[in-house]
Each structure stands twice: as C-alpha cells, then as structure tokens.
Amino acid sequence: MTRAPEPEEISDVAGLLEELFRLSRRLTPPGNYSLTVYSALASLKRHGDARLTALAAHEGVSQPSMTQAVGRLKREGLVQQVPDPSDGRAVLISITDTGLAALAARSQRRSEGVAELLAALDATDQHSIIAATGALRRLIDAVPDQRPDGK
C-alpha cells in the first residue's frame, strides 16, 4: 500500500478533475456570481484579508480581472476595500458580514445538491469520497499561487 501511483492512476485522477468541472458548473445556477468571484470570497473567509494582487495570484487570474471581480463585490457590499496603512500603493480586501451570509447561503444550496447526488451512491462509495476529502483539499493546497508575471 506504499507503492507510488501508476501512470494510469494519475491519468484517471486527471480525467476525473476534468469531469468534476462539469459537476461544479451544474451546482452553480446561472445568474449567480461566477465561480471565480465565489472562490475569491471563500478565500477571503478562509485565509483572511488579502491584497488584490495576492488574491489574483491565488485564484490564478490577472490583476485587472480581479480588480473587476472585487469591484462588483464591493458595489454589492460583499467585500470592503481599504488602503493598506503600511503601503500607500496597496489595498486590503476583506469580506463583510453580508459577504459571509452570501457565502453561507450559497454553501447551503450547494450542499443540498451534493446531498442528492451522494444519496444516489451506495454506502461504500459515499464513504470513500468522504474519506478522500481531506486528501483532495491538500491536493488543492499544493497548487502554487501564480506569480504575477510568470517569472
């Protein structure tokens, strides 16, 4: 049980990740915020306040894209943007109570969708998925933040 993953197992995982995107979209009704916007919001909740550049690097989008995403969140009161007292160039983005509530509502809806899907599986499958969530989260955390200029 300590052998290294075989190439076929790795490509299985890679193919799976591709298909999971489809699932992720289906759990996101159109008309809501984009996946990126929510991902950024979730990141602010999980990791605390962040600079715009750091947020863009973490989400893997360009700085201007994040400027626009944050602009929208700001207009709708889900985040606040304050100047960084220690650096006149920088701004700090933080999630508001409204933002936390929006995130919670969305999580609730998504959980309901996932619960329905899980219910279609047998107990063995359910438990192997649940057993793998921690590992998958660590897999995601292994994704390095993008360097702004790709250097």
Partner DNA sequence: TATTGTTATACTCTATAACTATA
Partner DNA sequence: TATAGTTATAGAGTATAACAATA
Binding site for DNA (CB under 7 A): 30, 33-37, 51-54, 60-65, 67-72, 81, 84, 87-92, 148
Which of 55, 79 has the CB closer to a copy of itself? Answer: 55
Site membership for a copy of itself, residue 84 (CB under 8 A): no
Q: State yes or no: residue 118 binds a copy of itself (CB under 8 A).
A: yes
* Amino acid, res. 110: R
Q: Which residues pair with 93 in a beta bridge?
A: 50, 81
CB neighbours of residue 92 within 10 Å: 18
52 binds, among DNA, a copy of itself, none (CB under 5 to 8 A by kind): DNA
Structure tokens at 105: 């509502």
User: How many residues would you count in the chain?
Assistant: 151
Which of 91, 103 has the CB closer to a copy of itself?
Answer: 103
Helix axes 35-47, 97-119, angle to 10 degrees: 110
Q: By C-beta, is 96 or 129 nearer to DNA?
A: 96
Closest CB to DNA among residues 68, 107: 68
The residue whose two tokens read 């197992």 is 9
Residues 42-81 that bind a copy of itself (CB under 8 A): 42, 58-60
How many angstroms separate the CA atoms of 52 and 56, rounded?
6
Assess 126 for contact with a copy of itself (CB under 8 A).
yes
Q: CA–CA separation, 27 vs 35, rounded Å?
A: 10
Q: In what order do the strands lie in the sheet with 79-83?
A: 50-51, 91-95, 79-83
- The footprint of a copy of itself (CB under 8 A) covers 1-2, 4-5, 7, 9-27, 35-36, 38-39, 42, 58-60, 107, 110-111, 113-115, 117-118, 120-121, 123-140, 142-143, 146
